[in-house]
Amino acid sequence: MKDVADVAAIAQAIEHYRQAMLSADKAQLEALCMDEVFFGHTSGLVQTKAEFITSVTDGKTVWKSLAFEHPTTRLVGDNAISHFIFIGENESAGKTNALRFDVVLVWHKQGGQWRMLVRQGYNKV
């Protein structure tokens, strides 16, 4: 039963992450990410927690739509690995960008809450 509850809690955290990206919700992103978060992009750019949150909330990029398709999660003790397909459209520097790539998240259970430790986007070859 604990595994089912944990997987459900992570699914909810993934949805909160999606919603926080769409609404540029700094408080929600702060709550979801561990201070040590490693945030990797498909381009190879790696951001700290502060850099990632600033990039979502500074208004330079506005998300028009965002879906996380086919999410899966595996538990590994107090850690979990999630995967989904990231599909979104944003506006940045006056241009509309359509994005589709895979994402792996590593979650760590801290103080009874699942928090993001690693986020890595990648393109399948």
Whole-number Å distance between alpha carbons of 50 and 53: 5
Residue 39 has pLDDT above 80, yes or no: yes
Q: Does the domain spanning 2-122 belong to CATH 3.30.70.2190?
A: no
Which of 63, 89, 62, 85 lies closest to 14 in space, CA to CA?
85
Over residues 50-80, the pLDDT tens digits come to 999 999 999 999 999 999 999 999 999 999 9
pLDDT of residue 5: 95
Sheet holding 46-47, edge to edge: 46-47, 33-40, 113-122, 95-110, 79-92, 61-76
Q: How confident is the model at residue 124 (pLDDT cuts 50, 70, 90)?
A: confident
Residue spans per domain, the chain: 2-122
Q: Indicate if the pLDDT at residue 48 is higher than 90.
A: yes
pTM given for the model: 0.94
pLDDT band, very low/low/confident/very high, at 1 (cuts 50, 70, 90) = low
Cα dihedral 84, 73, 22, 120 sign: negative
